Every structure is written in structure tokens, then in C-alpha cells.
Structure 1
């Protein structure tokens, strides 16, 4: 009976050729499977940081993270030799970046990730034509037109921006949808679209405790953008137009800004050019609660946090709660039903804070 001969291909090919082969892989699941073949293969994959390299290759925004952190119920001691500490750091990066890569490339059902509006660069008639109207899918609400309108300009090149907060500080955004507004109450039903659109994603430099009003007044210097898209042409059509990004984008900081470039429609009554938007969607999926980001301003650090045991059973309620609070702050809602609902929301908020304190430590999967 012939003896079966087994060959360690990593050792047989050598580290350089093996690295070249593994760098060709574009699925994080393949790297994870390879790391489980044997101890030597695991050390080779983790030691060379292939999962992190793949993540940075498919998502350049991830390169802005200065370090990663895991919050687990079973914490490992960081004491020991420098080589042991370095190996634990590499293992941690392997787990976190392989999971982030999976979130980016996996075919997840898309949802609207816009939570609330922040500000518009200009508004013609506030509050009737405010940015808040772009969160409504219909062009009519309570028998009245629902849209945002810029101020009129004689210069066709004056741009406008619409800025929104997303569902979480980490979201994968794949597609933006915008519906220009058709002024059905004006002669000829003019459509006030832009000529081009561009998208920025990043974070607000203001404190997380800043009020909606103060953030709405924030200028361009108060935002840090980690991604800027190419320009997309916009059609002068009354439809929800889709702008698919060249690749899935990791929005770090939870801020989406839409730049509306170029004006095409003049208003007959004053001879000025306007841009009007009926509805906006940012399609993708949030990464919370398993992934989060923390900005350490004093240390100039941006930490990617992994909570592998975190549960998402309250995220929908939290998003709904913040939406209701925002609407009341923006529109001054004091309807008895809304006040009753917010009473329940505030009670739930206290419970959430307690739960968050109790779940500071979760276990690594």
C-alpha cells in the first residue's frame, strides 16, 4: 500500500509566491477558510495581515482607521512579551477586518439609511420648502406640495447642498436616489432638476451632543469627508432617479451630503434659476451594533470598534425614536398622540441606557 504524501503548499511555494497567490483573492470568506486549514496556514494568513489588506483594497475608506478594538465578554490579558502582544493585535485585526470585508461584499438587502435632515445650503421659503420635505416620498402632503427649493440665482453655476444624518455612524451605501420636483402648479409643469450630482460621506466635527439647530448651521469646515463620488448627470425628469456608486462605500461618521451642480430651469415670474428636490433616499445598510467607530479628537485617532455579540433587536425602535424627536424639533409637533408616543419613547430610552451599560463586554465569536 502506497504511503500518501501530503504537501504544505505554502511551504512548498515559499512565502513570496504564496503571498502573491493570496493577494489575488477577492472574497474574505476564502481567506478565512484558508486560515483554518492548518496552524501554519493560519499563522501565515494572520501574520501577513491578508484580511486587512483585502479590506483596504475593496474599501479605501477603511485605511482611515488608526486602530481596531474588540469589546468582548471574555477579555484576554494584554500582558506578556511584545511578540505575544503583537500576535494578539494581528489576530484582532484579522477578525475585525474579515468581518468588515464580509459586510461590504455580501449581497445584503438594501434599505433607506437616511434618518434625518441636517441642513440645506439655501432655502427659498422656509419652512414650507425646507429640506425636511425631501424625506417624504410623495410630492404632496396634506394636500400641499412637498419639496425643497433653493434660493433663485442668475448664475447657472451656483451649486447647492443637502446634508443628512444616516441611521448609524457606520453604513455601507451602494446607491442614492433623487427625485427632482415638477412644479405642477406652474405653467408648463417645469422640472427644477440639477445638471449633475455628486455625493460626499463623512462625519461632523461638532460634538455628538450638538443640537439639531446648531448642526444645521454648521459650515463646510465642520465636516470631514472620507469619500467623494464622481459626478453623475441628472435627467430633467419627474422620476426617482438612481445613482449607483462605482463600489459599495463605507460611510464613516454617518453624514451624507448631496451636491447639486448646475441649474437648468428658470422660473418665469422672476427670471431666476432654481433647483428643487422632491425626495431623497440613501440605499445600503447600517453596520451597527456589531461595528461602530469612535473619534478620539485629542489623540487624533479613529477607532474601529467590533462588538461581535451585540444584538440588533432595538435598533429599529431607536431609529424610529430619533425620527419622531427630530420631527417634533423641526416642525414643532405638539399633537396629543405624538406627545403620548414620546412619553413612551423617553421611558424606553432610559431602559436602553441601562442595557448599554450592562453590555459593555461581549464575547468574541
Structure 2
């Protein structure tokens, strides 16, 4: 193949500023992969100037202030470095891979179904009838039966409670959390068992969590979860509606664990004069990482591997007679993504980190 003549290369003819402006008009990470495949000079230019990061922040501007988690804290990174020995060049390549991975993998729209499964409640009054699992239901009644979680009763109104869940993905950009206190429509005067305030924590487990019904009913996780984010306290109204608590900034939750802290009790139960907190529904809004993309937390320090599970996507497609447009779009770029992500950043069936010809 004849080498490209630099006199015909617009990166050389137009200079870096104009070339960056042109490349920043691309709106798809796969287009940047193609640009990297043109020649070694294009490959290096795109990486050195952080074009993939700029595209990612253009696609997801709300995550701008979360970029430091990726870059400074080294929360996400390849499992192996190779190629150029320059530490700065390796950092640039790493950022290029990570931002391209996230740009392709994050949900393009805010979803309201980011909550997956309950892990545990700090206490439960009548298990399983008043289990934390009921908080996944969108209403306070299921088949004419009350659906809610209830804490145990306490004499002290300051005793807090916690509800702990997994998210739908190991990486999720969380923007808002909604909590609905339960109104006991079967008790006199229809009392509402809200907490005085709520607070939210996000993090990842030190080791794979083992779930069982005993822990689901009542368990404090203590040191088993490493919390990387704690929100401010939000006052909760003693009203029967889904109350929205927008986080000061979107939070990049790596590890997929969310905890709702219910601080302070308001309502006594007439029959025993004890304070309770009851919740009928919890909802999490955000942008989860979509299949077949995934994040694997490797150790308690928080280092992670970026995974693209090709088998997951293939198995998914084989069980569906009519594939969605989004799934087809992802599958169409499989080879391109493998080129971009390289063998240091992902775990997949076929990987390559070769630079394009000059």
C-alpha cells in the first residue's frame, strides 16, 4: 500500500487548531475510531488532543465535573499497559479508550428504571409482608393489598434506617432519586410514616456480595461496602407522593450499590406508641452502562476493568427474532470498537491494539 503523502493530509495543511475544530464536529465515537485508522499521524493526533474526551463531554455535558474521577482518582483504567514507554502517552491512550468506551456504552437518554434489586433493609417489621422488595413496585397497592416496606418500631424518633439496592449496571450516572413515604390507608386518620430527611450513598462492594433472605430482612453491611459518594441531607415532606431529590451534580456510581438513608422519624403508630418509617416506592434516574458493556471492580482500591462482552450480545440476539435498532447499531460497530479499545482496556473475544499504517 502506498504511503499517504503528508501534502494531501488536511491535518498537516490546516494546522492543529482548525483540524481539532473539524474533528470536534463528529458526533459519533465510531467516527473517531475510523479517523484513528487513517494513518499513524491521525491516530496520534486524535489521542494527543483528547478528541474522544471532548466528544464524550459534548454528548454528556452533565458529567463534566465527574471527569476527575476517571482521570485523577484512576477509578477506571486498563488492566495492562503496552506500547510506548512514555507515561504521558500511556495516560492519553488510556483516556482515549475510556471515554470512547463510555461514549458508546452509556444510555443516550435519562432512564427512570436504574434500580435493580434490593440488597437489605436495616430492619423490617413484618417480613416478608413488609419487605424492602415491595419498594420496587410503582404504587402503594398491588392486587388490592398494601405494598410497602416498614421499619421496626422505636421509642427514639432519632433512630435512622437504611435501604440498600443494586443498580441495573455496575456503572451508572445517577442524577436524581425519588422516594415515596407510605400512607397507612387502613389506619385511623390515614397517618403517613415518612422520615424527617433522606440522604444517599453510592459505592462498590469489597468482595462479591452473598444474598439471602435473612440479610434482605435485616442486615447492616458495615465494612462490606466502600462508599465513594455521600449526598447532602434532603428534607422529606410528610406527604403521600413520589418526592424527587435531585443531586447537586450527577454522580458517577462505579460499583452499582445505592443506599437510601432515612434520617429521623415523624409518625407514631397509635396501637403501640412506637415510631416507624414506611416507604412504598424508590426510583432512581440516570444513565446506566448498557449491555454488552460492563465495568468490573478488580480490588478494594477501586481499580476497574472495562469489559465488552461480545458473547452476551450474541446470545441476546439469538433469542430475539426481531432485534432492536440500538442492538443492531452496537453489533455493527463491534470490530471498530475492538480496534479502539485495545487489549489493555477491555476483556473480549477478539482484541487488537495495532496502530494503523502510516
Q: 2:294–2:309: 8 Å Cα contact kept in structure 1?
A: no
Classify the secondary structure of the residue corresponding to 2:279. strand
Structure 1 CA distance for aligned equivalents of residues 318 and 202 of structure 2:
25
Quote the offset at 1:363 in angstroms. Answer: 5.2
Name the CA shift for 1:220/1:140 in 2 (closer, same or farther; >3 Å). Answer: same
* Equivalent residues in 2 for 1:1-365, closer than 5 Å: 8=15, 10=17, 43=44, 46-47=47-48, 57-63=65-71, 64-66=73-75, 68-69=77-78, 78=82, 82-83=85-86, 87=89, 90-100=92-102, 108-208=109-209, 210-213=210-213, 216=216, 217-297=219-299, 300=301, 302-307=303-308, 312=313, 360-362=348-350
Summarize deviations over 1:297-349 as a string: whole Å, max 9, x none. 38x4512404296765767999xxxxxxxxxxxxxxxxxxxxxxxxxxxxxxx
Structure 2 CA distance for aligned equivalents of residues 65 and 317 of structure 1:
37
Structure 2 CA distance for aligned equivalents of residues 360 and 39 of structure 1:
24
Structure 1 CA distance for aligned equivalents of residues 290 and 104 of structure 2:
14
Name the CA shift for 1:281/1:120 in 2 (closer, same or farther; >3 Å). Answer: same
Q: 1:309–1:364: 8 Å Cα contact kept in structure 2?
A: no
Summarize deviations over 1:52-109 as a string: whole Å, max 9, x none. 69777334443544552389xxxxx94x5524x86466324213224426766x7514
Q: 2:66–2:251: 8 Å Cα contact kept in structure 1?
A: no
Structure 2 CA distance for aligned equivalents of residues 137 and 122 of structure 1:
22
Structure 1 CA distance for aligned equivalents of residues 84 and 68 of structure 2:
33
Structure 2 CA distance for aligned equivalents of residues 361 and 151 of structure 1:
50
Contiguous gaps of at least 5 residues in structure 2 = 1-12, 58-62, 320-346, 354-358
Quote the offset at 1:203 in angstroms. Answer: 1.4
Task: Name 2:329's counterpart in structure 1.
Answer: none
Structure 2 CA distance for aligned equivalents of residues 68 and 294 of structure 1:
11
Classify the secondary structure of the residue corresponding to 1:68. coil
Structure 2 CA distance for aligned equivalents of residues 196 and 259 of structure 1:
8
Q: 2:198–2:236: 8 Å Cα contact kept in structure 1?
A: yes
Structure 1 CA distance for aligned equivalents of residues 194 and 67 of structure 2:
31
Classify the secondary structure of the residue corresponding to 2:102. helix
Contiguous gaps of at least 5 residues in structure 1 = 1-5, 12-17, 72-76, 319-358
Task: Name 1:323's counterpart in structure 2.
Answer: none
Structure 1 CA distance for aligned equivalents of residues 231 and 70 of structure 2:
16
Name the CA shift for 1:261/1:141 in 2 (closer, same or farther; >3 Å). Answer: same
Q: 1:148–1:278: 8 Å Cα contact kept in structure 2?
A: yes
Q: 1:28–1:101: 8 Å Cα contact kept in structure 2?
A: no
Classify the secondary structure of the residue corresponding to 1:183. coil
Q: 1:201–1:225: 8 Å Cα contact kept in structure 2?
A: yes
The TM-score normalised by the length of structure 2 is 0.68
Quote the offset at 1:246 in angstroms. Answer: 2.4
Structure 1 CA distance for aligned equivalents of residues 308 and 79 of structure 2:
6
The TM-score normalised by the length of structure 1 is 0.67
Summarize deviations over 1:138-175 as a string: whole Å, max 9, x none. 32234321111111222222111000112221122222
Q: How many residues align?
A: 303
Structure 2 CA distance for aligned equivalents of residues 204 and 154 of structure 1:
33
Classify the secondary structure of the residue corresponding to 1:249. strand
Quote the offset at 1:186 in angstroms. Answer: 1.0
Quote the offset at 1:226 in angstroms. Answer: 1.5
Quote the offset at 1:10 in angstroms. Answer: 4.7
Task: Name 1:321's counterpart in structure 2.
Answer: none
Q: Please report the RMSD computed on the Cα atoms of aligned residues, expressed in angstroms.
A: 4.3
